[in-house]
Amino acid sequence: MANHKSALKRIRSNETKRLRNRYQHKTTRNAIKKLKESGKEEAEALLPSVISMVDKLAKKNIIHDNKAANLKSQLTKHVAAL
């Protein structure tokens, strides 16, 4: 266990950040799943918000930039094919 005050604070803040990142990542994955299961009209409406969520995850380094680009490309192709 940590002995310094700053190390204890770091442990607490890391846990808070981990939970926030986990929540945001799971929310985005659910939104992607919903987009893939929806019809054309709904998918076109959802696409900008899902792409925005993916961009935010990449910006905060929750997911890698290339993964974000691949996801956005895949989702755009999916919606265009509907």
pTM of structure: 0.83
Measured distance CA(57)–CA(69) in Å, rounded: 11
Kindly report the number of other CB atoms within 10 A of residue 71's CB atom: 21
**How far is 29 from 22, CA to CA, in rounded Å?**
11
What CATH number is given to the structural domain containing 18?
Answer: 1.20.58.110
Q: pLDDT value at position 1?
A: 74
Task: For residue 3, name the pLDDT band (cuts at 50, 70, 90).
Answer: confident
Q: Read off the pLDDT of each residue in 27-35 and give the average, rounded to a whole number.
A: 96
Q: For residue 81, what pLDDT band results from cuts at 50, 70 and 90?
A: very high
For the chain, how many residues are written? 82
Total structural domains in the chain? Answer: 1
Tens of pLDDT, residue by residue over 39-80, are: 999 999 999 999 999 999 999 999 999 999 999 999 999 999
Q: Domain span at residue 26?
A: 5-81
